[in-house]
Each structure stands twice: as C-alpha cells, then as structure tokens.
A and B are shown apart, each in its own frame.
Chain A
Amino acid sequence: MRHLLSAGDLSRDEALLVLDTARELAQVGDRSVKKLPTLRGRTVVNLFYEDSTRTRTSFELAAKRLSADVINFSAKGSSVSKGESLKDTALTLQAMGADGVVIRHSASGAARRLSNWVDGSVLNAGDGTHEHPTQALLDAYTMRERMGRLDGLRVAVVGDVRHSRVARSNVLLLNTLGAQVTLVAPPTLVPVTAGSWPCEVAYDLDAVLPKTDVVMMLRVQAERMKDAYFPTAREYSRRYGLDKERFALLGDDAIVMHPGPMVRGMEISAEVADSARATVTEQVANGVSVRMAVLYLLLGGSEPAIGN
C-alpha cells in the first residue's frame, strides 16, 4: 500500500490489518509515555486546504506518537493564498523531502491528483464530496470494538449522503468488511445512482431503525435548505433527526455514531448525543490509533510497530 486515497482501495485483509494494527497501537495511548520511535526521522506534512482542527490535530498527534517530524502546512497564510497551484505546492513538499503528505482539500480528487506529483505517500484526509477513508476506518474500528464484529452488522447511515465523503468511504469499507449498509435520507440528498452502490437505500428512518445495529448520523448543513434539498431545518429534523423517541426504536445494544461536528437539535438531539450508547468521543480517540496504524503501514516499512 503506497497511498490511501479511497476506502475502496483496501482489500479485506488490508483493512483488517489496519484495524488490528490500530488496536495494538491503541495501547500506547494508555501509557504514561505515549510515544513510539517507529517513524523517527520520517517527515509527515499535514497539507490542509480546509479548516479542520479536529482532523488535523488527530493526524498530528498520530504522527507525533510515532516520533515522526510533523509539519503543518495550512492553506491560509502560506503561498497557497497567494495563488500557488496544488502542483507547485506538491513539488515544494517533494523538494523538502516529505515522506508522507496528509491532504484535506475542498476539491474531490485532490488527493489523487497530488499522488501524481509527489514520490511520498499520500493520505487522503477528506477530498471534497468524494472520500474520507481514515474516518471510515475509525468508524469500522469503533463498531468492531463496541459490537465485537463487523460481519453481518446492520449499519444505517443517515443524512446528507449526497455531499458526504464519510458516507462514500463507509459504504465501500463496510461492504468490504461484510457489514450491511442502509443509506437513509430524503431522496434529494441521495445520489441518483446510489441504487447501484453495494448498499440499500431507504427514505423512512422509522422503518429502518428497528433493524439496525449501528446508526451513523451525518451532519446536515442548514445551507442545504437554501438549495431546496429540504423545506426547513425543522422538517428535516422531524423526519430524519435522531431524537429520544426514535432512539427508542433501536435495539437495546444498538449504538449511535457521528463523525462530528454534530449539529445538536438538527440531526441529533442532545439526549441521544450524550447517551452512553453514543460513541462520538470514542470515535475521536480511536481516530488517533487508526491514523497511527495507517501512517505506520504506509511509511513504516517492515519494522514492527511496537518494538520489544
């Protein structure tokens, strides 16, 4: 594995290797000294064209726990804001000897484009409305930790599927790992050809919830209302928001996930977000372990992740 651009690039074995490695590496977070020498001398660049403090911080922490040198290259206040092209930025990073580039960009496909211009590994940290593979990996990790399995798990992904890179990556990865995904959204927020994806599509959340082990709520931006994807935020919330009453339709063991940032009162009510069956903060913690695993597998070569 040279780059991680799409969750669909991972075979079942590769995906499981990431999850198993992440589990091993998670132990480091429990130590008093939370650091391994594995990537000492390696340089990881966080190239963030979109503001995303949580994702950037998660990658930064993951790289630092593996002792890599980390450079944060933010689009604001750099040459990028002076009109430098993605290609020139790539060549600059290349000249500086970046071993890995973690890129977040508003344009779909930016990570793949970047991979043409640098020799190092490219890690897609979210490209437009395309994919966010490490989010899907940390979601899968969280599900496996909580539910003990992925095979046959019934997962409902609810919300703005059309514009969601999280949904696209999750559909691909969860399918690879044997889970059954159902996308639930108003039809305006489902891509027209989603019927050909390896998942089910439904419009009625209440009908889906009783048959669901994991419900993953996606953020719905209120701006979508202006483009007439739905009439009002209130109507959206009434039909697709996960409130206390809907939560009760789930089985007792079912969990609620959210990639964050949450819009409380829109797609999820405060009671549900704060319930013990919501995994939002666990997802954040798991995100660091999973990103450590990916960085290690992309950059670490053949050395063991955790030395004796």
Chain B
Amino acid sequence: MANQNHDGGAYLIRGARPLGGEPADILLRGGTVAAIGAGAAQAADGAAEVGAAGLIALPGLVDLHTHLREPGREDAETVAGGCRSAAAGGYTAVHAMANTDPVADTAGVVEQVWRLGRDSGLCDVRPVGAVTRGLAGERLAELGAMADSVAGVRVFSDDGMCVSDALLMRRALEYVKAFDGVVAQHAQEPRLTEGAQMNEGEVSDRLGLGGWPAVAEEAIIARDCLLAQHVGSRLHICHVSTKGSVEIIRWAKERGCDVTAEAAPHHLLLTDGLVEDYDPIYKVNPPLRTAEDVRALRQGLADGVIDCVATDHAPHPIEAKETEWSTAAMGMLGLETALSVVQHTMVDTGLLDWAGVAERMSAAPARIGRAAGHGRPLAEGEPANLALYDPAAERVIEPAALESKSTNTPYRGMTLPGRVVGTFLRGVPTVLDGKIQ
C-alpha cells in the first residue's frame, strides 16, 4: 500500500473517506495534518503515497480502560506488547489501569509506565493512578503527585476494586478537582458480590454459579452520581453493563450531574448464555449480562448516555483461563477487536454513523481523559493521529494472530466485519497494510 520512497516522514493518504464521508486526500507532515481535500495532492511534494480507496479515516482511537499488566505481570502482557495490540486496533492513546504489581499509586510507578509507553513509540500510554493506596480502599494515594508527575495523570481509578466507602469516594471526587482530574469508578457493591462468578439470573441459578446482581452495579452508580453532583465534581463510570445503569446515568445527566460513562465492546455483543459450557474465556468483571442489557447499552451508546466505548482489554496467560470456572481470572482482550465489534453492533445496525464512532471511540474518551492532542477532528493543523479502516473486510478472529502476548479473546472463531489497515501516531505510521511498523 505505501510507496517506500518517501522523504523524512510525509504521507499522502489517497482517497480515504474521512468519517465515512466523501473520498479525500490527506497529507500528513511534521506530525500534523498538513492538508486535507483538494489541495493535499499538490502540496504533497515527495510524500509517500498511501492508497486508501474505500477506507474510512477516523481520528486515532483513544481507550480509557486498558490493562497493560506491566509492572508485575509481564507473563500476561507488557507495555510494549499492549502498545502493539493498541496500534493494531487503530488506537493512538490508551489509559493504562492502575492494578499492576506494584500498584500505580505513586508518581514513580506512573512515570515508569509512561516511559515504557513512550519507548514503544507505537501508542501514547497515559497511566491511570490508583485512587487509594494499594487499591485497598482505605486511604487516598498521592493523587496530586501523580497528577504533577511527567505522566500527567488525570484519570484515577481503583479499577478491579470499587471505592465502596462513600466518604472516601466523596473525598476523592473533591480532591481531584484541584488538577482537573476525574475519578473512574468500578461500580461493584462488594458485599452484594461476595462469591460472585457471573451475572445473577436464570443462567447462574441453573449453573450453580454465584450471582453478580445488576443492583450491585446500579446502587453504586446511583450513589456516586448523587455524591458527584453534591460536591460539583466530575465522575466517570467504568464498563457500564446493565440496563438499569443506563437508566440511572440518563437520569443523573438530565438533572445536571457531570457524569460520563463507558461501555466495553463485549458488553455490546455477548451475553451470559455463553457461560453455559463453563468456559472461562467468557469470565469477565462486570460479567456478561442479558440480551436486554445489551440492547439498552447499544441504545445508551447511540443516545450519548454512554459517552464512549472503552475496551477493558485484560490480557491473561493461558493457564489463568484453562481451569475450572471459579478459579479462572476475569477479563478478556479487546483492543484489536473493538472497532470491529462497534461496527457490527452499532454501525451495521444503523445506531451510529462513522462520525458517531469517531466521537465515541476517540473524541469523547480523549476529552474525559484530558488526553491533549488526541480525539481531534481530521482537519488541517490538527495532530496527525488517525486510523484507516476497511469496513468491507471480514475476518475470522484467530487468537494466535493477535498482537497481544495473551490469547484470551472471547471472539475466537467468530467472523467480525472490518479491519484496521493503517494507524498513524503524530504522522508516523505504527500500522501499514495491517502490519505493525
């Protein structure tokens, strides 16, 4: 696809459809979009040509919820490996969750993760700081130090654990206002989910697996929306998974609460019926819910009640999944399949157009995470972060073919639409012809 005889890093992308619109040429030079449309070809001046007829150009995707596992679980994933996965999925920025070992609860750890991301050169890694020390839910971590560090942390989350103490949550919401931060809550009432293994409902009752009731998510979301509004803070809700949660967030937004929310691709497509054979590839937290929840999440994402798609990309080594259900690790890969799942569930169903996809997968998450330079429009003078996507392609998901070090994809063997053909980070291709550069 790319003409290899190019001068120091200028690219002329020919005939791509920005946000699915009319074909246009896009000239990338010096890390920015130098020209777009009619004048781009004339201004190309030795730029390498990238043929992109039929491809959709989107702003580089931004993930608010990624587990990169490093430091501590390099057997599952490394920052560099996760960045390959991200680039392959069309992402130019990811927010790395804090539940590493050691936990990202100090400036030292977040700076380490940030540097590893910078060294990879494939994707900007924006570390998420823990809300509480060691994710223990007892005392605030040094949020200010992480915010002021070179990593510039703006998103704080105890993801995996819920900040269940209402007073501590209030304090965190208030405290991060000083540096324009946001608390991203993993909404899970801990007492209601003791021994929880899957969505509580007809399937869990029949399979004899401990139930994770929807109310355990919804009760925390309702509480935190009220708290956030009371103290005038920003609140973000991680991986919303139930119909009731969508209704509560809709209500909170209507009454003026500054709340944003994300949905994970797997919650837009998969349901708890998949647990039937006890294959832990489908074990995730929050769990796969019902078809009714899936419908509500899709509608919420279409309406904007759910602001963005976030992958909750969670690599695990094979041995953590090849076990009996109750001992298996929770989580699934997402970065390399997210755009395909969104096309399948939102675009092909008519719920969202490509401009909407750009908003939900790039602009909104960049705004929420305060990721400067990301989620910008495809326009002259903007940073050259973009993804080229072929919506007409089809692929059968092969775990071994994924860039991630792990293989725990729930889409194994499924045929999904679309393929990321190219990704550019500040004008530099990280993926061309579907291959990592």
B349 within 8 A of A: no
Give the CA-CA distance A112 to B278 in the complex, in Å: 7
A17 at the interface (CB under 8 A from B): no
Closest to B324 in A: A107
Q: Which A residues lie within 8 Å of B324 (CB)?
A: 86, 105, 107, 109-110, 113
Contact with A along B319-336 (1 / 0, CB 8 A): 100111111000000000
A85 to B324, CA, bound (A): 9
Check if B208 is an interface residue, CB within 8 A of chain A: yes
Q: Is the CB of B207 within 8 A of A87?
A: no
Spot the interface stretch: A188-196, A213-221, A258-266, A276-284: A188-196
Least CB separation from A109: chain B residue: B278
Say yes or no: A85 contacts B209, CB within 8 Å.
Answer: no
- Contacting residues, chain B, for A106 (C-beta < 8 A): 326
A139 contacts the other chain (CB 8 A): no
Tell me whether B201 is interfacial, beta carbon within 8 Å.
Answer: yes
- Segment 165-222 of B: residues with Cβ below 8 Å from A: 197, 200-202, 205-209, 211
Are B202 and A108 in contact (CB-based, < 8 A)? no
Known contacts A85-B322, A130-B208: A113-B278 contact under CB 8 Å = yes
Closest residue to A131 on the B side, CB-wise?
A: B208
A192 engages B325 (CB within 8 Å):
no
Contact of B205 with A128 in the complex, beta carbons under 8 Å: no
B277 at the interface (CB under 8 A from A): yes
Across the interface, A192 reaches (CB within 8 A) one of B200, B207, B208, B326, namely: B200
B205 and A85 within 8 A (CB): no
In the complex, A154 has a CB within 8 A of chain B: no
In the assembled complex, the CB of B279 is this many whole angstroms from the nearest CB of chain A, namely: 8
From A86, A110, A192, contact of B211 by CB (8 A): A192
| Contact A130–B207 (Cβ < 8 Å) | yes
> What per-residue 1/0 map shows which CB atoms of A123-146 lie under 8 Å from chain B?
000011111000000000000000
Which of chain B's residues have a CB closer than 8 A to the CB of A108?
197, 207-209, 278, 325-326
Min distance, Cβ A4 to any Cβ of chain B, angstroms: 16
Look across to chain B and name the residue whose beta carbon is closest to the beta carbon of A162: B205
Q: Provided the pairs A109-B278, A113-B278 are in contact, do residues A85 and B319 lie with their beta carbons within 8 angstroms? A: yes
In contact, A194 and B208 (Cβ under 8 angstroms): no
Q: Does A3 contact B (CB under 8 A)?
A: no
Mark out the residues of chain B between 308 and 356 whose CB falls within 8 Å of any chain A CB in the assembled complex. 319, 322-327
Q: How far is the CA of A192 from the CA of B200 in the complex (A)?
A: 8
Beta-carbon contact of A112 and B206 below 8 Å = no
Whole-angstrom distance between the alpha carbons of A128 and B324 in the complex? 11
Chain A neighbourhood of B205, CB < 8 A: 191-194, 197
Provide the bound-state CA to CA distance between A186 and B208, in Å.
18
Residues of A within 8 A of B327 (CB): 107
Query: Complex: how many Å from CA A191 to CA B279?
Result: 22
Q: How far is the CA of A106 from the CA of B324 in the complex (A)?
A: 10
> Which of A108, A130, A165, A192 is packed against the most chain B CB atoms within 10 Å?
A108
A129: which B residues are within 8 A, CB to CB? 208-209
B193 to A: closest C-beta gap in Å: 13
Contact between B202 and A107 (Cβ–Cβ < 8 Å)? Answer: no
- In chain B between 93 and 114, which residues have their CB closer than 8 angstroms to a CB of chain A? none
Contacts of B208 in A (CB 8 A): 108-109, 127-131, 165, 168
Tell me the nearest residue of chain B to A106, going by C-beta.
B326
With A and B bound together, what is the CA distance between A87 and B205 in angstroms?
A: 26
Best-buried of B323, B324, B327 by chain A (most CB within 10 Å):
B324
Residues of A within 8 A of B206 (CB): 168, 197
In the complex, are the beta carbons of A86 and B209 less than 8 A apart? no
- A residues near B319, Cβ cutoff 8 Å: 85
CB-CB under 8 A from B201, the residues of chain A are 192-193
List CB contacts (< 8 Å) of A99-120 with chain B.
Answer: 105-110, 112-113
List chain A residues, Cβ under 8 A from B197: 108
Contacts of A127 in B (CB 8 A): 208
**A166-220: which have CB < 8 Å to B?**
168, 191-194, 196-197
Q: Is the CB of B323 within 8 A of A87?
A: yes
Contact partner, B277, options A107, A110, A112, Cβ 8 Å: A112
Closest approach, in angstroms, between the C-beta of B408 and any C-beta of chain A? 15
Chain B residue contacts of A85, Cβ below 8 A: 319, 322-323
Chain B residue numbers with a CB within 8 Å of A110 are: 278, 324
What's the nearest-Cβ distance from chain B to residue A196, in Å?
6
Contact of A86 with B323 at beta-carbon distance under 8 Å, contacts A130-B208, A168-B208, A191-B205 already known: yes
Task: Provide the bound-state CA to CA distance between A214 and B211, in Å.
Answer: 30
Given A128-B208, A168-B206, A192-B211: A113 in contact with B200 (beta carbons within 8 A): no
Q: Which of A109, A110, A191 has the most CB of B within 10 A?
A: A109
A-side contacts of B278, CB under 8 Å: 108-110, 112-113
* Cβ–Cβ contact B325 & A87, under 8 A: no
Q: Which residue of B lies closest to A161 (CB)?
A: B205
Specify which of B200, B322, B325 is in contact with A109 (CB 8 Å cutoff). Answer: B325
* Complex CA distance for A183 and B395, rounded to whole angstroms: 48
Docked CA distance A105–B200 (Å): 22
Rounded to whole angstroms, the CA-CA distance of A141 and B111 in the bound complex is 67
Residues in A neighbouring B207, C-beta threshold 8 A: 108-109, 130
B277 nearest in chain A by CB position = A112
* Distance, CA A35 to CA B322, complexed state (A): 40
Q: How far is the CB of A226 from chain B (nearest CB, A)?
A: 12
The docked-state distance in angstroms from the alpha carbon of A29 to that of B61 is: 71
Kindly list chain A residues whose C-beta atoms are within 8 Å of the C-beta of B326.
Answer: 106-108, 128
Minimum CB distance partner of A129 in chain B: B208
Contacts of B209 in A (CB 8 A): 108-109, 128-130
- Which residues of B264-287 are within 8 A (CB) of A? 277-279
Closest Cβ of chain A: how far from B60's Cβ, in Å? 40
Closest 3 CB pairs of A and B: A109-B278, A130-B208, A191-B205
Q: Known pairs A128-B326, A191-B211, A192-B201. 20 more at Cβ < 8 A?
A: A85-B322, A86-B324, A87-B322, A106-B326, A107-B325, A108-B207, A108-B208, A108-B278, A109-B325, A110-B278, A110-B324, A112-B278, A113-B323, A113-B325, A130-B209, A168-B206, A191-B205, A192-B205, A193-B201, A197-B206
Can you list 13 contacts pairing A with B, beta carbon distance less than 8 Å?
A87-B323, A107-B327, A108-B208, A108-B209, A109-B324, A110-B278, A112-B277, A130-B208, A130-B209, A191-B205, A193-B201, A193-B202, A194-B205
